[in-house]
């Protein structure tokens, strides 16, 4: 046998398409070529595979070795293919029965002494291997993450020798039996925040309907503290959502920590972060902050300070829940169905409108500052509200605020109404669905038309007010939208005039 094939997987977005590693041994001067990898990585892969085979006292064939990673057009970061390449060489040179390699998939980086090191994207690979009914042999360190794919057959190994012993049936690898960690995420609690009843109400509405939200207020009013508590009033992630979150994180540079299984992401990138860090990118495209916030919260503090390109790039995912990254010849798509929670000062110095009279910002400066958030983006933020400095009496009151658990119970009831009625949160209703599900009475309709004219709101805003009003009605367990619900929803658009 001078040819062997081994199944492995690459990463594309959060998918793990199959890669076939073909190893040919041919006549001629000894050589070792790897086709299908970026040049810079070929040398390192060759060195690791050769050293690992020698260290384990296998014979490194003195033949012309050609390794082909197919299909060629897939992006491939090399180290994951060390194990399949080494096994392919053993199979092609008859040191391992080539048919023992069938029916299983392999990935893992080799150390020079033949130990297996974890690779990126274990969960995505395990999900894909499960889909075709194959067992997956991978480094022990990857097993807890891969095992989140329930029903996947995960065979963890520590060394190349263990894998060879398994394939030659000397000592079979044991299937990973660890269970996914219990899901009991701990978020900071709303009961820590005194006062700010109106802001808490707006956050509850945002949580109940999946609406994006912007808080405008001077520094020190607790905007960040309120935002950090937002994930704790959202419903628990479903199994499918938790898997998607883990899959996105598993392909990021930081990887996925299995201990955070079931936690709603809360990402709060600084405004100085680069566009690539936020949107995603790189030679082998990796998800950015907006994708790492998938099914969770993207908190952007000091919104006008973000790069304009970044702010504009938010529009696509806010509409579609995905982001496309085009980079040279390669393109990748990542999910990005995040809930945007943003905060900003009312003016560049932060004190516009407060009683101290400290603000010296001119109206032009204030307009320029707010103008950094373009109309189309501002339009897509359903709820905008002012966060005033808390009153003295609120801060000294001994009364603790309502707990996140109690707020979450109301949010979950409202979400359940939406699920039963239309199968999705109100924030995602299309125009036609709004016509069907967001009917209001005469009084409500008049109120809305009057407000639109008075506040000079766009036609898009009309639908957005209705979506929010629908959520407010759901929170009061009402099947139709009444004027009082419309009135509250209009309050959340009053700031529109200043953008
Ligand atoms: Zn100012």
Q: Which of 32-46, 76-90, 366-380 has the weakest average pLDDT?
A: 32-46
Which pLDDT score, from 0 to 100, does residue 356 have? 74
Would you state the structure tokens that stand for residue 161, as one six-digit string? 């020798």
Calculate how far, in angstroms, residue 389's C-alpha sits from the geometric centre of ligand 1. Answer: 15
Distance of CA 67 to the CA centre of its chain: 35
CB 313 within 8 Å of CB 279:
yes
* Integer Cα distance of 63 and 31 in angstroms: 6
Calculate how far, in angstroms, residue 78's C-alpha sits from the geometric centre of ligand 1. Answer: 53
Is the pLDDT score of 148 beyond 90? no
Which pLDDT score, from 0 to 100, does residue 182 have? 63
CB proximity list for 184: less than 8 A, separation 6 or greater: 262
Is the pLDDT score of 180 beyond 70? no
Which pLDDT score, from 0 to 100, does residue 401 have? 81
Q: pLDDT digit string (tens) for 425-436? A: 999 999 899 999
Which pLDDT score, from 0 to 100, does residue 295 have? 95
Q: Which of 223-227, 230-234, 414-418, 451-455 has the weakest average pLDDT?
A: 451-455
Long-range contacts made by residues 451-455, C-beta under 8 angstroms, separation at least 24? 451/490, 451/493, 455/490, 455/493, 455/494, 455/496, 455/497
Which pLDDT score, from 0 to 100, does residue 329 have? 59
Calculate how far, in angstroms, residue 271's C-alpha sits from the geometric centre of ligand 1. Answer: 19
Q: How many helices (H) and strands (E) does the chain have?
A: 20, 18
Distances (CA, A) of 33 to 39, 41, 45, 70, 85: 10, 12, 10, 14, 11
Calculate how far, in angstroms, residue 352's C-alpha sits from the geometric centre of ligand 1. Answer: 5
Q: Which of 136-145, 198-207, 317-326, 347-356 has the weakest average pLDDT?
A: 347-356
Which pLDDT score, from 0 to 100, does residue 330 have? 66
CB 38 within 8 Å of CB 74:
no
**Which of the two residues, 391 and 480, has the higher pLDDT score?**
480
Calculate how far, in angstroms, residue 492's C-alpha sits from the geometric centre of ligand 1. Answer: 23
CB proximity list for 230: less than 8 A, separation 6 or greater: 203, 206, 207, 266, 297, 299, 341
Is the pLDDT score of 398 beyond 60? no
Among 167-181, 216-230, 270-284, the range with the most confident prediction by mean pLDDT is 216-230
CB 338 within 8 Å of CB 279:
no
Calculate how far, in angstroms, residue 354's C-alpha sits from the geometric centre of ligand 1. Answer: 9
Which pLDDT score, from 0 to 100, does residue 25 have? 95
Calculate how far, in angstroms, residue 12's C-alpha sits from the geometric centre of ligand 1. Answer: 47
- Residue with the two structure tokens 């393109």: 331
Is the pLDDT score of 283 beyond 80? no
Calculate how far, in angstroms, residue 350's C-alpha sits from the geometric centre of ligand 1. Answer: 5
Calculate how far, in angstroms, residue 36's C-alpha sits from the geometric centre of ligand 1. Answer: 57
Is the pLDDT score of 121 beyond 90? no
How much of the chain exceeds pLDDT 70, in percent?
A: 96
**Which of the two residues, 497 and 190, has the higher pLDDT score?**
190
CA atoms within 13 A on the CB side of 356: 9
Q: pLDDT digit string (tens) for 13-49? A: 778 999 999 999 999 899 999 988 777 778 889 999 9
Calculate how far, in angstroms, residue 300's C-alpha sits from the geometric centre of ligand 1. Answer: 20
Strand partners, 157: 139
Calculate how far, in angstroms, residue 359's C-alpha sits from the geometric centre of ligand 1. Answer: 4
Peptide bond between residue 479 and the one before it cis (omega within 30 degrees of 0)? no
What are the φ/ψ torsions at residue 23 (nearest 5 degrees)?
Answer: -115, 125
| Banded model confidence at residue 251, pLDDT cuts 50, 70, 90 | confident
| Banded model confidence at residue 486, pLDDT cuts 50, 70, 90 | very high
Which pLDDT score, from 0 to 100, does residue 428 have? 93
Is the pLDDT score of 75 beyond 80? no
**Which of the two residues, 462 and 233, has the higher pLDDT score?**
233
| Banded model confidence at residue 399, pLDDT cuts 50, 70, 90 | low
CB 34 within 8 Å of CB 42:
yes
Most distant pair of Cα atoms in the chain: their distance? 88
Calculate how far, in angstroms, residue 382's C-alpha sits from the geometric centre of ligand 1. Answer: 25
b (16+ CB within 10 A) / e for 307-317:
eeebbebbeeb
Assign 296 to helix, strand or coil: coil
Calculate how far, in angstroms, residue 464's C-alpha sits from the geometric centre of ligand 1. Answer: 30
Calculate how far, in angstroms, residue 219's C-alpha sits from the geometric centre of ligand 1. Answer: 11
Which pLDDT score, from 0 to 100, does residue 104 have? 95
Calculate how far, in angstroms, residue 491's C-alpha sits from the geometric centre of ligand 1. Answer: 24
Query: What number is the average pLDDT over the span 367-382?
Result: 88
Query: What number is the average pLDDT over the span 476-497?
Result: 91
Calculate how far, in angstroms, residue 14's C-alpha sits from the geometric centre of ligand 1. Answer: 44
Is the pLDDT score of 1 beyond 70? no
* Integer Cα distance of 129 and 84 in angstroms: 15
Is the pLDDT score of 496 beyond 90? no
Calculate how far, in angstroms, residue 368's C-alpha sits from the geometric centre of ligand 1. Answer: 12
Calculate how far, in angstroms, residue 369's C-alpha sits from the geometric centre of ligand 1. Answer: 10
Q: pLDDT digit string (tens) for 346-364? A: 999 988 877 777 888 999 9
Query: What number is the average pLDDT over the span 124-144?
Result: 93
pTM surpassing 0.75? Answer: yes
Q: Which of 90-94, 105-109, 289-293, 449-453 has the weakest average pLDDT?
A: 449-453
Which pLDDT score, from 0 to 100, does residue 362 have? 92
Report the mean per-residue pLDDT for the chain.
Answer: 89
Which pLDDT score, from 0 to 100, does residue 181 have? 64
Tell me the DSSP string of 388-399.
PPPPHHHHH--P
Calculate how far, in angstroms, residue 202's C-alpha sits from the geometric centre of ligand 1. Answer: 25
Calculate how far, in angstroms, residue 305's C-alpha sits from the geometric centre of ligand 1. Answer: 15
């Amino acid at each position: 046998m001078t040819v062997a094939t081994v199944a492995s997987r690459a990463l594309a977005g959060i998918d793990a398409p199959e890669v076939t590693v073909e190893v040919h041994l041919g006549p001629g001067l000894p050589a070792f070529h790897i086709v299908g990898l970026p040049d810079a990585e070929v040398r390192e892969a060759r060195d690791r595979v050769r050293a690992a085979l020698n260290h384990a006292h296998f014979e490194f064939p003195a033949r012309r070795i050609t390794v082909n990673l197919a299909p060629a057009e897939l992006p491939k970061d090399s180290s994951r293919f060390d194990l399949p390449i080494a096994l392919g060489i053993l199979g092609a040179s008859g040191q391992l029965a080539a048919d023992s390699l069938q029916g299983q998939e392999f990935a893992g980086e080799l150390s020079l002494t033949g130990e297996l090191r974890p690779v990126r994207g274990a969960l995505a690979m395990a999900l894909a291997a499960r889909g075709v009914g194959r067992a997956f042999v991978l480094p022990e360190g990857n097993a807890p993450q891969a095992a989140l794919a329930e029903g996947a057959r995960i065979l963890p190994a520590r060394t190349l020798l263990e894998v060879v012993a398994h394939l030659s049936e000397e000592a079979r690898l044991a299937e990973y039996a660890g269970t996914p960690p219990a899901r009991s995420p701990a978020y900071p609690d709303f009961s820590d925040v005194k006062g700010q009843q109106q802001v808490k109400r707006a956050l509850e509405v945002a949580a109940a309907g999946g609406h994006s939200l912007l808080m405008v207020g001077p520094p020190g009013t607790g905007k960040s503290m309120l935002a950090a508590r937002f994930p704790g009033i959202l419903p628990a992630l479903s199994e499918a959502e938790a898997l998607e979150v883990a899959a996105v994180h598993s392909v990021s540079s930081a990887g996925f920590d299995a201990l955070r299984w079931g936690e709603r992401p809360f990402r709060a990138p600084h405004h100085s972060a680069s566009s690539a860090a936020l949107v995603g990118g790189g030679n082998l495209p990796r998800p950015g902050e907006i994708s790492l916030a998938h099914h969770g919260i993207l908190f952007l503090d000091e919104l006008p300070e973000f790069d304009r390109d970044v702010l504009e790039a938010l529009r696509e995912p806010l509409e579609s829940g995905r982001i496309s990254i085009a980079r040279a010849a390669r393109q990748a798509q990542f999910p990005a169905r995040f809930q945007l929670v943003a905060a900003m000062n009312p003016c560049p110095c932060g004190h516009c409108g407060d009683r101290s009279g400290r603000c010296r910002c001119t109206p032009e400066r204030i307009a320029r500052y707010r103008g950094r958030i373009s109309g189309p983006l501002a339009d897509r933020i359903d709820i905008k509200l002012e966060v005033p400095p808390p009153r003295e009496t609120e801060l000294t009151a001994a009364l603790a605020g309502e707990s996140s658990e109690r707020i979450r119970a109301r949010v979950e009831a409202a979400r359940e109404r939406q699920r039963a009625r239309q199968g999705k949160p109100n924030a995602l209703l299309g125009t036609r669905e709004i016509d069907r599900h967001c009917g209001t009475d005469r009084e409500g309709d008049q109120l809305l038309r009057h407000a639109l004219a008075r506040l000079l709101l766009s036609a898009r805003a009309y639908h957005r007010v209705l979506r929010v009003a629908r959520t407010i009605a759901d929170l009061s367990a009402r099947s139709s939208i009444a004027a009082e619900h419309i009135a509250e929803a209009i309050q959340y658009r009053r700031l529109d005039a200043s953008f």
